[in-house]
Structure 1
Amino acid sequence: MSIIVGLLGYSIAALVYLLFSLLLLTTKQSGFQRQALSLVVFFTLLWASSGVAQMWIALPLGYLFGIETLRNALWFLLLYATIAPRFELSNFIRGPWRKKGLLLGMMFIACIQITTTLAGLQLNQFWLVTQLSQTVIGLWLIEQLYRRIDVSARPTIKPMCLGLGGMFAFDFALYANALITSGISFDFWSLRGFVAILAAPLVLLSARRIKRWSTKIYVSRDVIYHSTLLLVAGGYLLVMALVGYYIRYAGGDWGSMAQNGFFALSALILVSLFLSERLRKRLKVQITKHFFANKYEYREEWMKFAAVLEEDGVSPYSIALKAINQPFDCQYAGLAIVENGRYVVKATYNIRDDDSQAQLCLEHLAGQAIEHQWIVDIEELKEDTSVVPFQVSSNKLQQITKFCYVIPMSTSAGFKGVILLSSPSAIHSVNWEDRDLMRAISRQLAVFLNLHRSNLALAESQQFDTFNRMSAYLVHDLKNVLAQLQLMSKNAVKHKHNPEFIDDAFETVDSAANRLAKVVAHLSKKQRVDTVVAPFELKAALEQVVQSRSISKPVPQLEFTLNEAFELVGDQERFVNVVSHLVQNAQDATLEDGTICIRAGKQANECLIEIQDNGEGMSVEFIDTRLFKPFDTTKGNAGMGVGAYDAKRFVEDLGGHIQVTSNVGEGSLFKLYLPIHKI
């Protein structure tokens, strides 16, 4: 029996320290203490493996003693490095011999133990003395470490001291008894593996706590949860196997059938239990409650939260309600926001939108929760209403049985809302950590929902902005049509009996009709549509500008220095509109006795059109920041603020550019550089 216990103990110890060693290899931190810990865990793995070999194939004890000595030497070095302030290996190696003599001596002893065993020498009694001495040194170092370390740091080192102290104390009892009785007790020897197993988690716990070791090993709740399920399943099947064996042993001829039936029944029970959602939730609650300081794996919770927010095709309010209900798994939930001074239910879970109890919560608790930023615990309020900084009706509280929590949502931008939750089923009880999680999620959801509402408002504003832009361009076009008709009406007083004027009038009306047709097309298509680009005579177009703007003073003058047949390629009508608007701006900024001149010439490979006035002028800051900004006008209700912007965009669409020079009180000069496509 002792052999089975010993094999089992050493085998499990080897597996545990193998896992411990692999965990240490996955860490990226450096430092001597961390390297020493990795080495000592590896040698403990070798020691446990040697114990298996000794129990299984009678490996000579000398080999096991040699590996154990090396393991103890590394434990001593790790303990000393933990005791010594600012320990560095280089200083330790160059230091006095008295500090490193013990380590070198133990390494020498380990070599002697292994070589003498290889030579077939039996020095077991002497080796017992050396091993007993090592346990005494180990206990002394542990005592020194615990006594010298700062009191505030003792909780971090205490688990390792207990683990190593128990291991060295057990070995002390083993070797002391062996010296007294002149033989190693096999019962003692077979239990050493289990003692080493108990020491492993205690050392691991200290390894996580001691910052200088720089060894951070993470064990998630899911690992413990699934490990617990496997352990319970294994234990259950082991018990069922023993019971089944007993049934078969006691059942005689019919025992095999009874055993098989029992196994099938027990497997069915096991599967049904572990498929039970209720059992799984309770198991998670117990693991969280008893094995972890924090209830939640916040990294995983936040990743789940972010994944819910990324869902498509669902109302953002439903997404928000699902996100906050996910970690708590409440049976009932609701979300309402403040719109026009009243609460509007936007999303629900397992309740109607007009649920009476939800309405009670919104009427009597929601406003107070938002105002005081207080997570209202309704069950707590039923027992004592003085726990909250506001007044609430006890009679109304007694009518609320479906919901337990009212969680406020608000932002500095004015968004307000609440979330209603029933009693959580995913946790055993609600404490400060659950409230903090509720508060953190609700704040993020408030920002999320406020952003959603802001995007809706922005989209609506953009629609109105698009409509306003279209309207501004259309009004701009209509003003040009109006200018043509006003000019014709003004000249009709003097020339209405002139046949040439009548012909010109009909052409003007036809042109106005064409422009109005475009306006109607723009309105029907809800966008501004340009005509087909074609060559046109520049002089004729500029004369048309002068003629249309002659209705206002000062009347513009044209200076044309190019060939009479000089042509540009573009939309003639839009070109006339653009130049007309620039001239109109010059007229608005110039006194009636001032001057406005339109010049057309050639500079290098470009056509240069200049519009100069001696009016009010503009500052450099105005030109840089406001002149070409759309819908920014200095004319009040008389202007739309699109003329200069439209001119700049038109010239740039043709591949040219505009230059503006101006001084306040001296006038302005607009230069339009246009590419020449045909002369």
Structure 2
Amino acid sequence: MLTTNIVALSYAAAAAAFFFLSGLLLTSWRGRLHGMVLTVACLLSALWAATVAYQATLGRPISLLTDILEILRNAGWTAFLVMLLGPLRQTEVLSPPRVKPAVVAVTGFYLLLFLVTLYSYEGLGTAPFGAMASVVGRGAMAVIGMILVEQLYRNTPAKQRWGIKFACLGIGGLFAYDFYLYSDAMLFRQVSPEIWTARGIVNALVVPLMAVSAARNPQWSLGISVSRRILFHSTALLGAAMYLLVMAAAGYYLRFFGGNWGPVLQVAFLFGAVALLLIVLFSGTLRSWLKVFISKNFFSYNYDYREEWLRFILTLSEDGHGLGERAIQAIAELVESPGGALWISSESGDCELVAHWNMPLAGGIEPVNSPFCRFLENQQWVMDLQEYDTNPEKYAAITIPQWLRAIPKAWLVVPLIQHGGLFGFVLLAQPRSRIRLNWEVNDLLKIAGRQAASYLAQQEAANALLVARQFESFNRMSTFVVHDLKNLVSQLSLLLSLTEKHKNNPEFQKDMTDTVDFSVQKMKLLLQKLSSGTSDEKSAPLPIENLLQQAVAAKLADTPKPVLEIQDPGLEVFANWVRLERVIGHLIQNAIEATPRDGQVLVHLARQDESAIIEVKDSGHGMSEEFIRERLFKPFESTKSAGMGIGVFESREYIRELGGQLEVTSSQSGGTTFRVMLPLHRQDQAVERVA
């Protein structure tokens, strides 16, 4: 019983191996007639091994069907070798004029062997002469196969043997083992059970050798193309099925040898095995590895470009997350990267972080004219940061920004090129499975970066157009406000002139006159500003300390009262007093409104190098990172019911106009700090402005 089980397992392994190789030939590799014959030979070998395993499982002896399938299997491999020898121009034994007669002779031999095999089974296997003739004939088949393998290898040019040597080893191994088996049978007048049993395992071991040669010679295979997705799911399904079969067998033996605990252990083991399978199947790392493995080993190119490009465009076009995050995701999925971040060049002359996807620790600002950005723009290369660490000369030994090197798991920098210029760049995290960056991957990332840049540039243009239209609408609204105010001023002026006729109640008239006069003057001033649209006041050197004192004093009536700290007095900046006071006052007012009555608002002035640093700190509820990035500096976006949403936007624009910067740091429930950096005024700057 034990020997029968071993025979069944040995030949079942051979059948599974040949069926798997046949499936690969039919689904993934491409070719013509050679591939058809190779596939038929593999299928015949699989059917023969499966038949032997089936009969061994039932405990039956070798039947006529098994012997016929063995002859057909050997005929298939012989036909494949003859077809490979046919195109050779020079051979020592089988030159082209002799190929056709040789084929006829081999075919006749196989027909004769087929008849001898039929005769050996006459009378239910009682023809000893026929049985021995059949054994001799099969030994002769093995000799013919070995001769063909030797001729194929010897007559193949040395430079081309790389592609066939493993096939010669595999097929030659099959025929060599058969010769050993039947030589032993002729010597001892019977087939050795041990050698026969091991024959299945030997057949299974040579399948990988044939698979390697088939991969190196795609012209052997059929011209059928199956998508990577089908092959991916088929491979995953096959692996899951094999895993479940092994686990079921293990569970059976646990039940058999486990005694009283056997059924309990079997159920627990099978449940754990199924749970582990589900975890593995839903593992992003395993799926990524399997995709890369299939692309590397079964396809000429790493990508199915049609499928990848459709997925790329669909990711960019779908709704949901912002376009920046979708662009990162679309590029990252090309190289199995789990996350990334996006920087886009802004009007300030810096590449600023605008979006991140599964990379929350990314951050930093890089000037567009820095060596790093100039290299990306001029070379348009995909930078491998790990390769840079080992070979910086390849990237002209440029200096990688420190903030970029500090980002965990940073891997690739993909430039976004728009009209020959650097629109921005994407930083990708290290992939789930190892990706070899070759010309194909680099070219695909470059093209994807250009496509993503066009989408992002279109969005930037659309946003700019929207802002322009909003400003146009705001100006149109101002025109109507001016008209209404003009009418109101006229009415109030008329009322003021009429009140002079009613002097019976001097106190009442005085209060009314003061009130109306104040309203008229205020509305006239507003009317003047709205009508002109610009201020006549010009920029000049001003003491920033005095301006802050005036801005803080204007807010002392509010609660909490702002506190002013002057660390470095006597600093001067070149700006317009009214506009800069309005900017600082707006930041202070926002801090007061965001802080509870028992909180604190602090205005701090200090010097840092050649800049005046104004910090407006509060202990209010703070803002989220998403709000700061997407809404804080966006015009016409306001969280106030009566706000117009242009205060912070106008503040940043004027500070940039002065050559400074406005930064904000905040955390929810941790307060907010606005940091205004203005260049200090020097006498030589004043001379340059006058000149």
TM bucket (normalised to shorter chain) is: 0.5 to 0.7
Q: Where in structure 1 are there 5+ consecutive unaligned residues?
A: 464-679
User: Partner letter of residue 113 of structure 1?
Assistant: T
What are the superposed Cα offsets for residues 129-187 of structure 1, whole Å, 9 maximum, x if unpaired? Answer: 11111111111110110111122322222232122111111111111111222211112
Mark the CA change 1:26 to 1:109 in structure 2 (over 3 Å): closer, same or farther. same
Distance in 1, matches of 2:346 and 2:308, equals 28
Q: CA deviation at 1:28?
A: 12
Match for residue 424 of structure 2 among 417, 420, 423: 417
Contact 1:338 1:415 in 2 (8 A): no
Q: CA deviation at 1:373?
A: 1.9
Partner of 2:659: none
Match for residue 348 of structure 1 among 345, 351, 356: 356
Match for residue 286 of structure 2 among 274, 280, 284: 280
Larger radius of gyration: 1
Mark the CA change 1:94 to 1:389 in structure 2 (over 3 Å): closer, same or farther. closer
Contact 2:329 2:340 in 1 (8 A): no
Distance in 2, matches of 1:394 and 1:344, equals 13
Q: CA deviation at 1:274?
A: 2.7
**3-state DSSP of counterpart to 2:338:** coil
What are the superposed Cα offsets for residues 446-488 of structure 1, whole Å, 9 maximum, x if unpaired? Answer: 344456667889999999xxxxxxxxxxxxxxxxxxxxxxxxx
Match for residue 314 of structure 2 among 292, 298, 307: 307
Distance in 1, matches of 2:30 and 2:408, equals 53
**3-state DSSP of counterpart to 1:149:** coil
Match for residue 320 of structure 1 among 327, 335, 346: 327
Partner of 2:142: 135
Mark the CA change 1:230 to 1:260 in structure 2 (over 3 Å): closer, same or farther. closer
Q: CA deviation at 1:68?
A: 2.3
What are the superposed Cα offsets for residues 359-388 of structure 1, whole Å, 9 maximum, x if unpaired? Answer: 259785334322332333445556775442
What are the superposed Cα offsets for residues 202-250 of structure 1, whole Å, 9 maximum, x if unpaired? Answer: 434434543553525767455444544444454455445544543x23x
Distance in 2, matches of 1:152 and 1:314, equals 54
Q: Does 1:6 align with 2:7?
A: yes
**3-state DSSP of counterpart to 1:322:** helix
Partner of 1:173: 180
Match for residue 111 of structure 2 among 107, 111, 118: 107
Q: CA deviation at 1:333?
A: 1.8
**3-state DSSP of counterpart to 1:357:** coil
Trace 1:92-241 onto structure 2 (pairs within 5 A).
97-120=101-124, 121-122=127-128, 123-210=130-217, 212-216=219-223, 220-236=231-247, 238-239=249-250, 241=252
RMSD, aligned α-carbons: 4.4
Contact 2:362 2:407 in 1 (8 A): no
Partner of 2:491: none
Distance in 2, matches of 1:386 and 1:206, equals 39
Contact 1:92 1:100 in 2 (8 A): no
What are the superposed Cα offsets for residues 376-421 of structure 1, whole Å, 9 maximum, x if unpaired? Answer: 3445556775442154277666655574433211133646221123
Partner of 1:445: 452
Distance in 2, matches of 1:395 and 1:34, equals 55
Contact 1:92 1:99 in 2 (8 A): no
Distance in 1, matches of 2:368 and 2:420, equals 21
Q: Does 1:334 align with 2:342?
A: yes
What are the superposed Cα offsets for residues 613-654 of structure 1, whole Å, 9 maximum, x if unpaired? Answer: xxxxxxxxxxxxxxxxxxxxxxxxxxxxxxxxxxxxxxxxxx
Q: Does 1:76 align with 2:78?
A: yes
What are the superposed Cα offsets for residues 535-574 of structure 1, whole Å, 9 maximum, x if unpaired? Answer: xxxxxxxxxxxxxxxxxxxxxxxxxxxxxxxxxxxxxxxx
Partner of 1:359: 365
Partner of 1:601: none
Partner of 1:492: none
Q: CA deviation at 1:444?
A: 3.2
User: Partner letter of residue 374 of structure 1?
Assistant: W
User: Partner letter of residue 453 of structure 2?
Assistant: A
**3-state DSSP of counterpart to 2:399:** coil
Contact 1:160 1:203 in 2 (8 A): yes
User: Partner letter of residue 365 of structure 2?
Assistant: Q
User: Partner letter of residue 117 of structure 1?
Assistant: Y
Distance in 2, matches of 1:271 and 1:27, equals 26
Q: Does 1:33 align with 2:34?
A: yes
Distance in 2, matches of 1:17 and 1:298, equals 27
Higher mean C-alpha deviation, range 3-12 or range 399-408:
399-408
User: Partner letter of residue 167 of structure 1?
Assistant: L
What are the superposed Cα offsets for residues 297-323 of structure 1, whole Å, 9 maximum, x if unpaired? Answer: 444544432331331465433321220
Distance in 2, matches of 1:224 and 1:443, equals 34
Distance in 1, matches of 2:292 and 2:142, equals 39
Partner of 2:600: none
Contact 1:139 1:169 in 2 (8 A): yes
**3-state DSSP of counterpart to 1:334:** strand
Partner of 1:527: none
Contact 1:244 1:262 in 2 (8 A): no
**3-state DSSP of counterpart to 2:109:** helix
Partner of 1:623: none
Q: CA deviation at 1:3?
A: 1.2
Distance in 1, matches of 2:147 and 2:108, equals 18
User: Partner letter of residue 174 of structure 1?
Assistant: L
User: Partner letter of residue 71 of structure 1?
Assistant: R
Higher mean C-alpha deviation, range 75-84 or range 330-339:
330-339
Q: Where in structure 2 are there 5+ consecutive unaligned residues?
A: 90-94, 471-691
Distance in 2, matches of 1:54 and 1:305, equals 53
Contact 2:350 2:367 in 1 (8 A): no
Contact 2:315 2:329 in 1 (8 A): yes
Higher mean C-alpha deviation, range 343-352 or range 158-167:
343-352
Distance in 2, matches of 1:292 and 1:23, equals 8
Q: CA deviation at 1:110?
A: 0.8
Contact 1:72 1:134 in 2 (8 A): yes
- What is the TM-score of this pair, normalised by structure 2? 0.55
Distance in 1, matches of 2:106 and 2:263, equals 65
Distance in 1, matches of 2:359 and 2:26, equals 52
User: Partner letter of residue 75 of structure 1?
Assistant: W
Distance in 1, matches of 2:391 and 2:327, equals 31
Mark the CA change 1:454 to 1:119 in structure 2 (over 3 Å): closer, same or farther. farther
Contact 2:296 2:302 in 1 (8 A): no
**3-state DSSP of counterpart to 1:321:** helix
Distance in 2, matches of 1:383 and 1:96, equals 59
User: Partner letter of residue 146 of structure 1?
Assistant: Y
Higher mean C-alpha deviation, range 446-455 or range 95-104:
446-455
**3-state DSSP of counterpart to 1:183:** coil
**3-state DSSP of counterpart to 1:407:** strand
User: Partner letter of residue 347 of structure 1?
Assistant: A
Partner of 1:65: 67
Mark the CA change 1:235 to 1:211 in structure 2 (over 3 Å): closer, same or farther. closer
Distance in 1, matches of 2:166 and 2:201, equals 17
**3-state DSSP of counterpart to 1:274:** helix
Partner of 1:522: none
- State how many pairs are aligned: 452
